[in-house]
Amino acid sequence: MKPFILLLFAVLIYSSCDKAKHETTYTYHFQLQGDTESNFSKSGESRRFTLSVLRKCFTDGIISGATEKVTTSAISLIPMENDLFTVENIQKNDGEYIFDLSIPENDTDTLRKDMLKIVFTEGETHLTHTFQFQQNPSDINTAYEIQTNMPQPFHIPAEGGIFEIPFTCMHIKYINGNLSQTIPGPLKGLKYFICIANSGSVHSLFIQKDGELPGQYKFKIEAQGPYNLNYWSKTESTFFVELKNDKKVIFHRDIIHPQTENEEYIHYSVTIANHSTFDI
């Protein structure tokens, strides 16, 4: 069981002056019982609190009479400053204002803070006090997935051509290890590697935006043909494209283009490697 923490806030009120010579004053203490010290769980949590406003009377600076709880009708709670927490299940009983304070799972990786404002009004006495509550940051991780109908491997016909293959970059968000959201998003920050090895100067591959919607891209492949590498023993040329999140490969496609046996189609072998980080 969590220990109850007692928070006190004292206010001195001069209520009246005895016409003879006695001066009567009051102090008010805002007492909130419950776990007010530890942060709320990053996964979301609800806690029960009991609020009381205690009043003491002093005559000429000397306490007179017993400490008493003011009526709960004089107490009100102002909605949370940042609207992060919810006050619910309110009960009022013998000077005690009982309520639950709840917050859902933190969907950010930052510490969240909010303020609960207490208002006490009785006659000409109007007092306010605030209590601060915090919620721990969550563990946020994002994975990426490339969705496309591009087959593996992708075959180019001998005569070559220009080919545009659409794909979607999906951002997969996890909060505290649980799947939270899957939405199209930019390639920005991911890495790409295109390797065109021993293929002749007949191939090129580009990655471009495909329209204005988020996460929509296309591979544009240009291949001249027919072609022949003369001294190269293979009957086809293979190159590939890879997309990476840091060092993890999230997409790989081999691209195959068959050669055509004929001297008039001869091209000399060329190797091209291109790698960088997306800014689109």
Give me the CATH number covering residue 41.
Answer: 2.60.40.10
pLDDT > 90? residue 167: yes
**189: left (phi > 0), else alpha (psi -120 to 50), else beta?**
left
Lowest mean pLDDT among 106-115, 190-199, 203-212, 249-258: 190-199
| Mean pLDDT comparison of 86-95, 129-138, 188-197, highest-scoring range | 129-138
Whether 205 has a pLDDT exceeding 80, the answer reads yes
Give CA–CA dist 117/76, Å, rounded. 9
Domain extent, residue 217, equals: 140-277
Closest C-alpha among 132, 101, 129, 135 to residue 115 = 132
Rounded to whole angstroms, the Cα distance separating 262 from 229 reads: 10
Task: Summarize the chain as % helix, strand, coil (round to 5).
Answer: 0, 60, 40
Q: Among 86, 105, 135, identify where a domain stops.
A: 135
How many structural domains comprise the chain? Answer: 2
* In-domain check, residue 205: yes
Same domain for 265 and 152: yes
Domain membership flag for residue 86: yes
Q: Quick one: pLDDT band at residue 2, thresholds 50, 70, 90?
A: very low
**191 pLDDT exceeds 80?**
yes
Q: Are residues 211 and 166 in the same domain?
A: yes
CATH number at residue 183: 2.60.40
Select from 110, 135, 160 the last residue of a domain.
135
Minimum mean pLDDT range among 37-41, 62-66, 106-110, 132-136: 62-66
Contacts of 31 (CB under 8 A, 6+ apart): 6, 7, 8, 51, 52, 53, 54
